[in-house]
Amino acid sequence: MKPAAILTDIEGTTTPISFVQRVLFPYARTRMAEFVASGHPALADVPEPKLETLLGWMDRDEKITALKAIQGVIWEEGYKSGALIAELYGDIPPALRRWVRAGLRLFVYSSGSVPAQKLLFGHTPAGDLTGLFQAYFDTRVGAKREAASYASIARGVNVPPEEMLFLSDMEAELDAAKASGLQTCQLVRDEDGTIPTKRHETAKDFNDVARKFGLPHG
């Protein structure tokens, strides 16, 4: 069945993993002590000692909602000042625009906070792409490796699961989405060294996704 909606991950799917690890994480880390000293309300959900806890979460790449929210606040300053410019794979902006013109509904689901997602898509070399997506979801809807999260998203946007295609580089996330009835495709980007799955369709980029699922492509 040709999908009517696309639900996409970000890191390793629309955005190089290296951008997150080389740019975003270091930017947040070097400003974390100053952020903790500010007493920002977002710190309320972080146990003491706050700085050590946050840095420990970052070292372990924990998908903790409080950490992701704080990173998003710090990145907002960077994007607004021009210190940060989001990196996207070159195939992403034209593919997204083609799909919207064709009537597909686009959504984002990432472990990064919704504000951080919007900042990334709002500050790209191709311009502000936030308006191409109808809704954004983060771990507040549930963990990305839990099938219930995908069922909740599909139900919330009123799309039958079998009509929604989930795009990600992570096999465990794809497994969860498939278990909830979604169509799935793994992005295997050469730059990211993704290990191809044997349980899901694979694609090298969004044009390849489009060809394999009968969507408009360049």
Model confidence pLDDT, tens digit, residues 179-195: 999 999 999 998 898 99
Which residues are paired to 5 by β-bridges? 105, 164
Tokens representing 50 are 């706050």
Q: Decide: helix, strand or coil at residue 152.
A: helix
Mean pLDDT of 50-67: 94
Q: Quote the pLDDT of residue 1.
A: 86
Q: Quote the pLDDT of residue 217.
A: 87
4: number of Cβ within 10 Å: 14
Name the average pLDDT for the chain. 96
**If pLDDT is split at 50, 70 and 90, which confidence band does 133 have?**
very high
pTM of the model: 0.92
With both helix axes pointing from N to C terminus, report the angle between 171-179 and 147-156 in degrees, rounded to the nearest 10.
60
Mean pLDDT of 12-16: 97
Residue 218: pLDDT above 90? no
Contact 180, 150 (CB under 8 A): yes
Q: Decide: helix, strand or coil at residue 167.
A: strand
Supply φ then ψ for residue 138, to 5 degrees: -130, -160
Q: Quote the pLDDT of residue 132.
A: 98
Q: Quote the pLDDT of residue 204.
A: 97
The helices-and-strands tally (H runs, E runs) of the chain is 10, 6
The rounded distance, in Å, linking the Cα atoms of 25 and 61 is 10
Which residues are paired to 106 by β-bridges? 6
Q: Quote the pLDDT of residue 84.
A: 95
Tokens representing 96 are 């997204």
**Residue-range domains of the chain with CATH:** 5-15+87-213 (3.40.50.1000), 19-81 (1.10.720.60)
- pLDDT tens profile 73-128: 999 999 999 999 999 999 999 999 999 999 999 999 999 999 999 999 999 999 99
Q: Quote the pLDDT of residue 31.
A: 97
Q: What percent of the chain has pLDDT over 90?
A: 93
The rounded distance, in Å, linking the Cα atoms of 96 and 5 is 11
The rounded distance, in Å, linking the Cα atoms of 187 and 154 is 21
